[in-house]
Amino acid sequence: MKVIVITGPSGAGKTTVSEEFTKRNKTYANIDVDHLKHMNPNAFTKVINDDGSEDFPYSAWRLLGKKTAILAKSYIDYSLDVIINGYLEVEAWEEIEKQITIDYRLLLLPAESANIERDSQRTKEVQMGQKAVKRGQKHFKEERFFKKFELIDTSNHSLLETVELIEEMVK
């Protein structure tokens, strides 16, 4: 069974691409980590520590990684391929890798200007704003962990072109 992970900044197309891919490829289950995050929203609200620093209330990212891996393993046990899509911190990815083998690591990273434009077209409830988009871009470009991911610049690709590119990569 194949495991594909798709990550990238807000507005890169992770969810849209993963949903379309799984519609076209019937052997895949799509795990959208945002759905798992919403199961415990308070875990991803930073708290202020006694020293004034900010942190998550407990190892929320590791727990999310563990829950994601358990769900992926369940699909694999029933002979389904898996896509895990969404934004995760490095410790969540590390937790996933302890439990399952990831076959394809894909980083959707449109040009910053395209990313900002896409974000501005989202509904107000999910817009990140220009500052957050730039911070996300920087994170994915500079974080060493993501150097082992295959970069896909989705700036000038349609949804169908991106899905077809991924299909070609994983066949």
pLDDT at 65: 95
H or E element, residue 165 = helix 159-170
- Is residue 148 over pLDDT 80? yes
3-state secondary structure of 16: helix
Show the tokens assigned to 47.
């708290």
Query: How does DSSP classify residue 141?
Result: H
Q: For 36-75, write each residue's pLDDT tens digit.
A: 988 887 776 777 778 888 776 668 889 999 999 999 999 9
Q: At what angle do helices 159-170 and 14-24 cross, to 10 degrees?
A: 60
Counts of helices then strands in the chain (DSSP H, E): 7, 7
Strand-pair category, 28-32 with 81-85:
parallel
pTM, whole model, 2 decimals? 0.88
Higher pLDDT, 118 or 165: 165
pLDDT, residue 125, reads 82
Here the CATH number for the domain that contains residue 30 is 3.40.50.300
Range of the domain at 114: 3-170
pLDDT at 35: 93
| Residue 29 scores a pLDDT above 80 | yes
In this prediction, residue 146 has a pLDDT band, given cuts at 50, 70 and 90, of: very high
Phi, psi for residue 124 in degrees, rounded to 5: -55, -35
Number of domains within the chain: 1
Return the amino acid letter for 47: V
Distance CA 130, CA 54 (A): 22
Indicate the angle between helix axes 60-77 and 90-99, nearest 10 degrees.
Answer: 30
Per-residue pLDDT of 68-96, as tens digits, reads 999 999 999 999 999 999 999 899 999 99
